[in-house]
C-alpha cells in the first residue's frame, strides 16, 4: 500500500493530496475473496487486501486505492449536495449483470473516471506500461476498454434525466477528465 501511495505522490501529487485529505485509515486484510471496500458509514476508511508482490503488479493496488478513495470522496460530496433527483428504479449498468439504482451507476462513473486518470498519468509518465495494468475488471474477461465502459455509464446517467444541476456539472467534469487522458485504457 505504501509503495503504491508513494508512486501516486511522485506522479500525481494532486491525487495523492486528495487521497491523503479524504482517507485517514486504511485497513489491510488477508483475504482470498475481498479486494477492497469502503462504506458510507465509515467515511475516511477503506479496507484493502494484502499485496502479493510475487504474484501481481503494484497497479492492482493502484486500482483499489484510487477506486475506494473515489467512493469516499463521492460519499462526502453527495452528503453535501444531491447529484440525482431520485434513486427510484433500476438501470442497465455496463459493469454488472444485474440492473442497479442510478446512484450505483453514478458511483461507477465517478470511480472509473478517476481510475482511468490514475492509470493514464502513470502511463504518460513512463512509470508503467499498458501490459502492467492487471485490474480486477480486466481479469474478469472484460475486453471492452475502461474508457468505453465509462462513456456507457455516462450515457445511462444522461438518459435517465435525473441529475441535479450540480450532478450534471460533476458528470461533465468527469467526462472532461477522461477526454483529456491520452492512453487507451
In a domain, 185, yes or no: no
For residue 120, being part of any structural domain is answered with yes
pLDDT tens for 79-119 read: 999 999 999 999 998 877 889 999 999 999 999 999 999 99
Is residue 54 in a domain? Answer: yes
C-alpha span between 159 and 8 (Å, rounded): 34
Its domain, for residue 60, covers 1-180
pLDDT at 135: 66
**99 touches 92 (CB < 8 A):** yes
Confirm whether 38 is domain-assigned: yes
What's the average model confidence in pLDDT over 155-167? 97
For residues 83 and 163, the answer to whether their CB atoms sit within 8 Å is yes
Amino acid 137: pLDDT: 54
Number of structural domains, the chain? 1
Query: Is residue 110 situated within a structural domain?
Result: yes
Identify the pLDDT of residue 5.
92
Report pTM: 0.92
Q: Does residue 63 fall inside a structural domain?
A: yes
Question: Which residue in the block uniquely carries the three cell numbers 444531491?
Answer: 82
Which residues neighbour 58 within 8 Å (Cβ) at sequence distance 6 or greater? 3, 4, 7, 51
Quick one: the chain helix, strand, coil %, rounded to 5?
Answer: 55, 10, 35
pLDDT of residue 136: 61
Q: Does 46 map to a domain? A: yes
pLDDT in tens, 62-83: 999 999 999 999 999 999 999 9
Amino acid at each position: 500500500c505504501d509503495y503504491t501511495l508513494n508512486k501516486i505522490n511522485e506522479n500525481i501529487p494532486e491525487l495523492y493530496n486528495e487521497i491523503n485529505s479524504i482517507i485517514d485509515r486504511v485497513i489491510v486484510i488477508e483475504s482470498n475473496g475481498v479486494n477492497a471496500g469502503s462504506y458510507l458509514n465509515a467515511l475516511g476508511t477503506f479496507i484493502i487486501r494484502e499485496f502479493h508482490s510475487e504474484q501481481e503488479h503494484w497497479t492492482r493496488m493502484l486500482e483499489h486505492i484510487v477506486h475506494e478513495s473515489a467512493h469516499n470522496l463521492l460519499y462526502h460530496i453527495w452528503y453535501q449536495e444531491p447529484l440525482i433527483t431520485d434513486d427510484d428504479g433500476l438501470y442497465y449498468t455496463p459493469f454488472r449483470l444485474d440492473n442497479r439504482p442510478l446512484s450505483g451507476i453514478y458511483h461507477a462513473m465517478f470511480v472509473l473516471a478517476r481510475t482511468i486518470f490514475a492509470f493514464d498519468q502513470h502511463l504518460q509518465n513512463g512509470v508503467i506500461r499498458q501490459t502492467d495494468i492487471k485490474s480486477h475488471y480486466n481479469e474478469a474477461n472484460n475486453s471492452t476498454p475502461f474508457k468505453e465502459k465509462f462513456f456507457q455509464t455516462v450515457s445511462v446517467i444522461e438518459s435517465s434525466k435525473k441529475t441535479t444541476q450540480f450532478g450534471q456539472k460533476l458528470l461533465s467534469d468527469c467526462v472532461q477528465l477522461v477526454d483529456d487522458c491520452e492512453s487507451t485504457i
